[in-house]
Amino acid sequence: MLKVYGMPSSFAQETLGDLIDSLQIASGSVLGLSTGEISVFFPADLVQRGLGEELVCFVDGLFEKPERTRSLRRTLASAIVSKLSMFVLEYLPQCGKVEAIINRFNQDADGFAVWERRSG
């Protein structure tokens, strides 16, 4: 799950939808996941001052697996920063910084549950 903090709320849904697609494709490519397996959220900020000046993306819930090495996690962070910085260059001239922070999740040690609606 990707959570991008610092995004102004003034963007059209289509613009943010394109960014979501871009982040899902880039992240999925690095992790070997489909876009449907990657959630992207833009949490609302209670303080409006400074929004758009810095974007921080937290990757939460990334299951620890042997193939998800430090190098792969760095590649993931770089891919996310690349996509966000391209967005910044087009839409956020006031933004001076983009960060990505990868938080791993040990599914053997930590709690985890999923519910999915079944179609059909």
CB atoms within 10 A of CB 53: 13
Q: Where are the domains of the chain?
A: 2-105
Residues present in the chain in total? 120
Q: Pick the residue with more confidence: 109 or 32?
A: 32
Phi and psi at residue 51, to the nearest 5°:
-60, 135
pLDDT of res. 107: 81
DSSP string spanning 10-75? TS-HHHHHHHHHHHHHHHHHHHT--GGG--EE----S--TTTTSEEEEEEEEEE--TTS-HHHHHH
Top CATH class, 2-105: alpha beta
Per-residue pLDDT tens for 9-19? 888 999 999 99
Per-residue pLDDT, averaged over 87-100, amounts to: 96
